[in-house]
Amino acid sequence: MTGTVTATVAELVQRQWGDPRTGLRSRDTVLTHHDVSAGAAARAALLVDLLPRGAEPHLGVLLDNTPEYPLWLSAAALAGAAVAGINPTRRGAELARDIVHTECRVLVTQRAYLPLLDGLALPGLRVLVTDTDAYTELLTPYEGAEPGDAVVRPVRPDSRMLLYFTSGSTGAPKAAICSQGRLAAAGASLVAHFGVGRDDVHYICMPMFHGNAVIADWAPALSAGASVALRDRFSASGFLPDVREFGATYFTYVGRAIQYLLATPEGPGDREHGLRLGFGTEAGAVDAARFEARFGVKLVEGYGSSEGGAAIQRTPDTPTGAIGRAAPGDGLAVVDAEGQECERARFSPQGHLLNGAAAIGELVNKGRSPFEGYWRNEEAEKERLRGGWYWTGDLFYRDEADFYYFAGRTDDRLRVDSENLAAAVIENILARWTDAEAVAVYAVPDPVAGDMVMAALALREGAAFDPARFTEFLSGQADLGTKMPPRFVRVMDRLPTTATNKIQRASLRTEGFLSRDELWWRPTPGAAYTPLTPKALTTLRATYDSHNRAHLVWS
C-alpha cells in the first residue's frame, strides 16, 4: 500500500479497518490499526450528535500527545469536520480567542488543562475531558459504529481538515486551513520521498497541535500504513529510551530539539537503536553533522511553508547547508522588497557566502500555490498573496545551480550600517563555537540608526563565557562579515522557547540588553568584550537620548 494515492484522509482511516497490526502506541496504550479505525468511527458518531445543527463542524483539541489526539484527528476526517489544534501554552484571553475565533463548538481536553479554561468566556462550548469516567460513559453507546456511519458534512478532497495556528511577530495567530486532500497528498509525497513503508514506526514527540507533527509525521504514517508511537511531550532525556522501546525508525523535529538532544550526556549505546531518519527544520548544518556522527542517524532538512504555499525538497545532489531544489515549474524565486530577483549566491572556496546582502531575499511563489487561506482573516490572506504571488515570509538565497538555502525569517532581518543581514546566517556561524549549546541572534536598535547585532548564548554544561576566547573564535570565521559580530552577548542557562522548541525571539528582542542575565558588549565594533555594567548602561542611555531613540529600548 506504500505510496498509494488517496483523495481524502477519511479513506486512509477507513483503510485501517480490519488490520490487526499494531497501529498506535504510547507508554500505556497499544492499539491495532483496526482499533484506531473503530475508535475514530465511535468518536465521529459522537461528534455528529454533539455539534449543533448549522454550526461550523469544528472541534478544538487541547491535549498532550495522548492516543486521543490521533483518534480525534481520524474521527474528524471520517465525520467531515475540522480540528483546531489548541496550544496549551496560551493563556487567558488569548486562549479563549483561539477557541472562539475558530468557532469550535466541542473542545476535547484532559484534566490537567481544565484550570486553563476557568473563568474564560466560551459560550456554547461543549467540553469533553478524556481521562474521566464520564467521557468513557459518553463514548460507550457509539462503540459499534463503523467508518462512514456518521458524517456532519459529505467528505470531499476540499473538506476542511485542519485549522492550525501560525504566528508572526505581530498580531494574533492566524488559523491556516488544510483540506483533507492536501493533507493526504502531503503524506503520500513524504512516503514516496523517504520510502516510508508499512513496517516503519513513526515517533511523534513534537506537539500535535503544530503542523509539523501532523503533516510531516502522522500523515505519512497513515498514508503508508505504518505504526505511530507517541510521546506526550518532547523530552531530550527520554528520546533514546523511547526510540528503543517503540522500535522507532522515523521522527520529525522543529526548532531547537536537535540541540537539546545533542546536549544530553553521551553514552556507549547512542547508536543502539533502529532509527534511520529524522526530518525537520532549523537544525542547521553543524548540528545535523554532529547528530549523525553521534547517533548514526541522518537528518534531512526540508522546507515547506506552514500554509502550504511553497515547498522545497532535498535531492541526492543537494550541497551541504542547502535545503534542495524546487520542483520544475513551481515558480519559486528569491526577491527583494521591490519584487526584483536577488543576485545568485557566490561562495568562497571554503563554501562561505560572499554576497549575502545582495543574495538574500524573501522566497516567493510566482506560480500556482496550494495555499488554502486563513480562517476568517481576509487581511492576512491579501498580505500573503499580494501582487498575485505567495510571499512566504522566509529569507533564502539561491545559487547558480538553483539550490536554495534557508536564511531565516523576514522578521529576523537586521540592518547594520545600511547592510541587510539575516539572523540565521550569523547563527549558523556562531553555532560552530564548541562552548555553545544553543544560539539566537536578533536585532537591537542602534543609538543612531538601524540595528546592532545581539546574540543570546546557552552554554554547554561546565562552560563559562570567556570573552577573549570568543573574540578569537570570531576572528577565525572567514565567512563572518565585518557587520556580523555581535555587539552584545547575553549568556543564559537556556534560551526561551515555544512549545514547539522554536526560540522566542520576540521576547529576546523586547528585553534587548536590559535583562538581568550575564551581559557583555563591545563599546565600539572592534573593541574587546566587557561586562555591560550599570555605569556603561547609563552612558549608553545618554547616547540614545542624544539621538532621540531611547524610547526604542527603554519603552
Q: Where are the domains positioned within the chain?
A: 9-181, 324-412, 421-552
At 267 the pLDDT is 94
Q: What local confidence, expressed as pLDDT, does residue 171 receive?
A: 59
Write down the pLDDT at residue 533: 95
Closest C-alpha among 321, 329, 322, 302 to residue 313: 302
Lowest mean pLDDT among 133-147, 348-362, 475-489: 348-362
Distance of alpha carbon 199 from alpha carbon 194, whole angstroms? 13
Predicted model pTM:
0.81
Which of 48-57, 80-89, 501-510 has the least mean pLDDT? 501-510
Count of helices and strands (H, E) across the chain:
18, 26
Share of the chain above pLDDT 70, in %: 98
Q: Per-residue pLDDT averaged across 325-331, rounded?
A: 83
Among left, alpha and beta (phi > 0; psi -120 to 50; other), residue 418 is left
Q: In this predicted model, what pLDDT tens digit does every residue of 408-451 receive, in sequence order?
A: 777 777 878 767 788 888 998 999 999 999 999 999 988 887 88
In this predicted structure, the answer to whether residue 467 has a pLDDT above a threshold of 60 is yes
State the pLDDT at residue 450.
Answer: 80
| 33-50 and 68-79 helices, crossing angle to 10° | 60
What residues does 332 pair with on adjacent strands? Answer: 365
Q: What is the 3-state secondary structure (H, E, C) of 190-221?
A: HHHHHCCCCCCEEEECCCCCCHHHHHHHHHHH
Return d(Cα 131, Cα 437) in angstroms, integer.
Answer: 37
pLDDT over threshold 80, residue 37: yes
pLDDT averaged over every residue in the chain: 92
What sections of 102-205 are H helices per DSSP?
Answer: 114-117, 133-139, 180-194
Q: Is the pLDDT of residue 169 over 60?
A: no
426: alpha, beta or left? (left if phi > 0; alpha if psi -120 to 50): alpha
Class of domain 9-181: alpha beta
Q: What does the alpha-carbon distance between residue 286 and residue 526 come to, in Å, rounded to a whole number?
A: 27
Fold identical between 9-181 and 324-412?
Answer: no
Residues 212-239 pLDDT 10s:
999 999 999 999 999 999 999 999 999 9
Q: Is the pLDDT of residue 4 over 80?
A: no
The better pLDDT of the pair 15, 287 is held by 15
pLDDT digits over 512-526, tens only? Answer: 999 999 999 999 888
Euclidean distance between CA atoms 105 and 551, whole angstroms: 44
Is pLDDT of 301 > 90? Answer: no
Q: Calculate what percentage of the chain has a pLDDT beyond 90.
A: 72
**DSSP strands (E only) in 380-517:** 390-398, 404-409, 413-416, 419-422, 436-445, 451-459, 488-492
Q: Is the pLDDT of residue 333 over 70?
A: yes
- Residue 121 and residue 446: Cα distance in Å, rounded? 43
CATH dotted code for 324-412: 2.30.38.10
Mean pLDDT value of segment 476-498? 90
Quick check: 151 and 48 in contact, CB under 8 A? yes
Dihedral sign for Cα atoms in the order 323, 329, 331, 333: positive
At residue 382, does pLDDT exceed 80?
A: yes
Instruction: For residues 109-136, give the mean pLDDT.
Output: 97
Q: Is residue 5 over pLDDT 70?
A: no
C-alpha cell at 209: 497541535
What is the rounded average pLDDT of the residues 367-371?
89
Can you tell me which residue has the cell 562579515? Answer: 481
Please state, in angstroms and rounded to a whole number, the distance separating the CA atoms of residues 263 and 241: 16
CB-CB contact of 437 with 460 (8 Å)? yes
What is the CATH number assigned to the segment(s) 421-552?
A: 3.30.300.30
Distance CA 147, CA 37 (A): 7
